[in-house]
Structure 1
Amino acid sequence: MAGSLLEQRSIDVVPDEERHGTAFSQFTLWLGANLQITAVVTGALAVIFGGDVVWSIIGLVVGNLLGGAVMALHSAQGPKLGLPQMIQSRAQFGVRGAVVPLLLVILMYIGFFASGSVLAGQAVGELTHLGETPGILIFAAVSGVMAAVGYRLIHAVGRVASVICALAFVYLGIRLLERADLGALLGDAHFGLPMFLLAVSLSASWQLAFGPYVADYSRYLPRTTSTRATFWWTLSGSSLGAQWSMTFGVLVAATAGGAFMDNQVSYVVGLGGSGLIAAFLYFVIALGKLTINVLNTYGGFMSIVTSIGGFRGRQVLSPRGRACYIALIMVAGTAVALLGKDSFLTSFKDFLLFLLTFFTPWSAINLVDYYLISREQYDLPALSDPNGRYGGWRWDALAVYGIGIAIQLPFLVTHFYTGPLVAALGGADISWIVGLIVPAALYWALAGRKRGTKAEPTPVTADHVG
Structure 2
Amino acid sequence: MNIERRSIEFVPDEERHGSVKSLFTIWFSANMQISTAINGALGIVLGLNLFWTFVALIIGNLIGGIFMASHSAQGPHIGIPQMISSRAQFGVKGAVFPIFIVFASYILFTGANALVVKDSIQAAVPMSDNWAFIVFGVLTLIVSFLGYDFIHKIGKFLTVLSSIIFLIATILVFQLDFPAGSWSSNEGFHFATFMLVISFAASWELGFGPYVADYSRYLPCSTPTSKTFLYSYAGNVLGATWMMLLGALLAAGIPNFTNTISSSIAKMFGPYAGFAYLTIFLGILLLNTLNLYSAYISWVTVVSYKSTGISPKFKFGVMLGCIVLATAIAIGTKENFDAYFADLMVGQMYVLLPWTAINLVDFYLIRKGQYSVPDIYDDKGIYGKYNWTSLTCYLVSVIVAVPFMGFSFYEGPILKALGGADITWAIGLAVPALLYYLLMRNKVNVTTTRQVEEEEEMSIPIAKE
TM-score range for the pair, normalised by the shorter chain length: over 0.9
TM-score, normalised by the number of residues in structure 1: 0.94
Question: How much has 1:158 moved relative to structure 2?
Answer: 0.5
**Secondary structure of the corresponding residue to residue 418 of structure 1:** coil
CA distance in 1, matches of 2:2, 2:179: 47
Q: Deviations for 1:135-191, whole angstroms, at most 9, x for unmatched residues?
A: 221111111111111000000001111111111111111111112349852136433
Of 270, 277, 283 in structure 2, the residue corresponding to residue 282 of structure 1 is 277
- What is residue 323 of structure 1 aligned with on the other side? 316
**Secondary structure of the corresponding residue to residue 210 of structure 2:** coil
User: Does the 8 A contact of 1:122 with 1:131 survive in 2?
Assistant: no
Question: How much has 1:356 moved relative to structure 2?
Answer: 0.6
The runs of 5 or more residues in structure 2 that have no matched partner are none
User: Does the 8 A contact of 1:54 with 1:186 survive in 2?
Assistant: yes
CA distance in 1, matches of 2:49, 2:179: 13
Of 212, 222, 225 in structure 2, the residue corresponding to residue 224 of structure 1 is 222
Q: Find out whether 1:28 has 2:21 as its counterpart.
A: no
User: Does the 8 A contact of 1:123 with 1:135 survive in 2?
Assistant: no
| Distance of aligned partners of 1:350 and 1:418 in 2 relative to their CA distance in 1, 3 Å threshold | same
Which has the larger displacement, 134-143 or 181-190?
181-190
Question: How much has 1:241 moved relative to structure 2?
Answer: 0.5
Q: Find out whether 1:373 has 2:360 as its counterpart.
A: no
CA distance in 2, matches of 1:303, 1:367: 19
Of 246, 251, 254 in structure 2, the residue corresponding to residue 253 of structure 1 is 251
- What is residue 122 of structure 1 aligned with on the other side? 119
User: Does the 8 A contact of 1:93 with 1:397 survive in 2?
Assistant: yes
User: Does the 8 A contact of 2:90 with 2:390 survive in 1?
Assistant: yes
The aligned length equals 457
Question: How much has 1:267 moved relative to structure 2?
Answer: 1.6
| Distance of aligned partners of 1:248 and 1:182 in 2 relative to their CA distance in 1, 3 Å threshold | farther
CA distance in 2, matches of 1:133, 1:119: 13
CA distance in 2, matches of 1:152, 1:70: 25
CA distance in 1, matches of 2:329, 2:237: 28
User: Does the 8 A contact of 2:20 with 2:219 survive in 1?
Assistant: yes
CA distance in 2, matches of 1:38, 1:461: 48
**Secondary structure of the corresponding residue to residue 249 of structure 1:** helix
CA distance in 1, matches of 2:31, 2:240: 5
The runs of 5 or more residues in structure 1 that have no matched partner are none
Please show how residues 13-162 of structure 1 align to structure 2 within 5 Å.
13-162=10-159
- What is residue 437 of structure 1 aligned with on the other side? 430
| Distance of aligned partners of 1:461 and 1:134 in 2 relative to their CA distance in 1, 3 Å threshold | farther
User: Does the 8 A contact of 1:13 with 1:464 survive in 2?
Assistant: no
CA distance in 1, matches of 2:172, 2:335: 28
Of 303, 322, 329 in structure 2, the residue corresponding to residue 308 of structure 1 is 303
Question: How much has 1:240 moved relative to structure 2?
Answer: 0.6
- What is residue 9 of structure 1 aligned with on the other side? 6
- What is residue 267 of structure 1 aligned with on the other side? 264
CA distance in 2, matches of 1:205, 1:461: 42
- What is residue 334 of structure 1 aligned with on the other side? 327
Amino acid across the alignment from 2:44 = V
Question: How much has 1:364 moved relative to structure 2?
Answer: 0.1
- What is residue 404 of structure 1 aligned with on the other side? 397
Question: How much has 1:197 moved relative to structure 2?
Answer: 0.6
Of 374, 378, 403 in structure 2, the residue corresponding to residue 385 of structure 1 is 378
**Secondary structure of the corresponding residue to residue 451 of structure 1:** helix
- What is residue 173 of structure 1 aligned with on the other side? 170
Of 277, 292, 299 in structure 1, the residue corresponding to residue 294 of structure 2 is 299
Amino acid across the alignment from 2:320 = A
Question: How much has 1:396 moved relative to structure 2?
Answer: 0.8
Q: Deviations for 1:300-339, whole angstroms, at most 9, x for unmatched residues?
A: 00000001114xx445311111111111111111111111
**Secondary structure of the corresponding residue to residue 55 of structure 2:** helix
Amino acid across the alignment from 1:15 = P
CA distance in 2, matches of 1:303, 1:314: 14
Which has the larger displacement, 179-188 or 412-421?
179-188
CA distance in 2, matches of 1:321, 1:287: 27
Of 165, 175, 194 in structure 1, the residue corresponding to residue 192 of structure 2 is 194
Q: Find out whether 1:428 has 2:421 as its counterpart.
A: yes
CA distance in 2, matches of 1:101, 1:152: 27
User: Does the 8 A contact of 1:106 with 1:300 survive in 2?
Assistant: yes
CA RMSD across the alignment: 2.0
Which has the larger displacement, 20-29 or 448-457?
448-457
Question: How much has 1:462 moved relative to structure 2?
Answer: 12
Question: How much has 1:89 moved relative to structure 2?
Answer: 0.5
User: Does the 8 A contact of 1:12 with 1:464 survive in 2?
Assistant: no
User: Does the 8 A contact of 1:14 with 1:461 survive in 2?
Assistant: no
**Secondary structure of the corresponding residue to residue 97 of structure 2:** helix
CA distance in 2, matches of 1:14, 1:248: 39
Q: Deviations for 1:64-122, whole angstroms, at most 9, x for unmatched residues?
A: 11111101000000000100000000001100000001111111110110111111222
CA distance in 1, matches of 2:214, 2:258: 34
Fraction of identical pairs, as percent = 38
Amino acid across the alignment from 2:7 = S
Which has the larger displacement, 345-354 or 264-273?
264-273
Question: How much has 1:407 moved relative to structure 2?
Answer: 1.3
Amino acid across the alignment from 2:101 = L
Of 424, 445, 451 in structure 1, the residue corresponding to residue 444 of structure 2 is 451
Q: Deviations for 1:23-67, whole angstroms, at most 9, x for unmatched residues?
A: 110100000000001001111011101211111111111111111
User: Does the 8 A contact of 1:410 with 1:421 survive in 2?
Assistant: yes
User: Does the 8 A contact of 1:118 with 1:341 survive in 2?
Assistant: yes
**Secondary structure of the corresponding residue to residue 220 of structure 1:** coil
Amino acid across the alignment from 2:331 = L
- What is residue 236 of structure 2 aligned with on the other side? 238
User: Does the 8 A contact of 2:47 with 2:188 survive in 1?
Assistant: no
Question: How much has 1:268 moved relative to structure 2?
Answer: 1.8
**Secondary structure of the corresponding residue to residue 186 of structure 1:** coil
**Secondary structure of the corresponding residue to residue 175 of structure 2:** helix
| Distance of aligned partners of 1:298 and 1:96 in 2 relative to their CA distance in 1, 3 Å threshold | same
**Secondary structure of the corresponding residue to residue 202 of structure 2:** helix
- What is residue 354 of structure 1 aligned with on the other side? 347
